[in-house]
Amino acid sequence: MTTTPARPRAAGRPGATSHAAIEQAAFGLFAERGFAGTTLDDIAAAVGVGRRTLFRYYRSKNDIPWGQFDRTLDDFRRILGSTAPDLPLWEAVHHGVVRFNEFPGDARPGHRERMELILGTPELQAHSALRYAEWRAVIAEHVADRLAVSPTDLLPTTVGHVSLALALAAYDAWMRDPSRSLAGLVDEAMRGLRAHLAC
């Protein structure tokens, strides 16, 4: 009889904050005092919430700059899944990576600020390895699917690692030259690699 709501239904005490509110407060403080110079107490105070509560929204301090990356990975899966199946595999994957890194003009500054923080802070560089592993797995699964092999085989994991390599090289360059487009840099990195390997 109940209309079986899609969402599990909202019962119990309402949340005191949101991911968006936390990230906004946190990024403000990071910009002011640096990542290491900002304590979780600072952030909690700025959000107006208990320190303990922060851990209910993010697993760790290091996770805050990444936001809800899980969702982003779902998008990535969808992008790869919608590439033309008759495109050569390497082009499909490359295309997916390029599209994944295309941001609408107004989302740019935010994304850049986020990546500057992540790529410029050693603790975060290290932590990011864990996020990258999830990203690589998405690629490996797509490659394994198209080749009908296991995602843990050498080729799918290799393509995952190499795709990440190109993306990170592009980000490195983007940090040095903000005027370039990220997608263009990923493209250029791929062209450079193919020339390097004498394709």
**Interacting residues with its own copies (CB under 8 A):** 88-90, 122, 125-130, 133, 152, 154-155, 157-162, 164-166, 168-170, 172-173, 176, 185, 188-189, 192-194, 196-199
Distance from C-alpha of 126 to C-alpha of 177, rounded to nearest angstrom = 23
- Phi/psi for 91 (5° steps) reads -70, -40
Distance from C-alpha of 136 to C-alpha of 95, rounded to nearest angstrom = 15
> Which residues, 32 to 71, sit near DNA by CB under 7 A?
38-41, 49-53, 55-56, 59-62
Residue 128 binds which of its own copies, DNA, none (CB < 5-8 A, kind-dependent): its own copies
Residue 50 binds which of its own copies, DNA, none (CB < 5-8 A, kind-dependent): DNA
Cβ nearer to its own copies, comparing 110 with 178: 178
Q: Is 5 in the site for DNA (CB under 7 A)?
A: no
Q: Is 11 in the site for DNA (CB under 7 A)?
A: yes
Which candidate, 102, 111, 133, places its Cα nearest to that of 66? 111
Which candidate, 101, 100, 103, 108, places its Cα nearest to that of 82? 100
Cβ nearer to DNA, comparing 117 with 182: 117
Q: Is 155 in the site for DNA (CB under 7 A)?
A: no
Distance from C-alpha of 51 to C-alpha of 121, rounded to nearest angstrom = 23
Q: Is 132 in the site for DNA (CB under 7 A)?
A: no
Distance from C-alpha of 177 to C-alpha of 180, rounded to nearest angstrom = 6
Residue 179 to residues 114, 154, 167, 170, 192, Cα–Cα distance (Å): 17, 37, 17, 13, 20
Cβ nearer to its own copies, comparing 47 with 118: 118
Distance from C-alpha of 194 to C-alpha of 121, rounded to nearest angstrom = 31
Side-chain half-sphere CA neighbours of 169 within 13 A: 16
CB of 56 to DNA, least distance (A): 4
Residue 181 binds which of DNA, its own copies, none (CB < 5-8 A, kind-dependent): none
CB of 122 to DNA, least distance (A): 11
The binding site for DNA (CB under 7 A) comprises 8-17, 38-41, 49-53, 55-56, 59-62
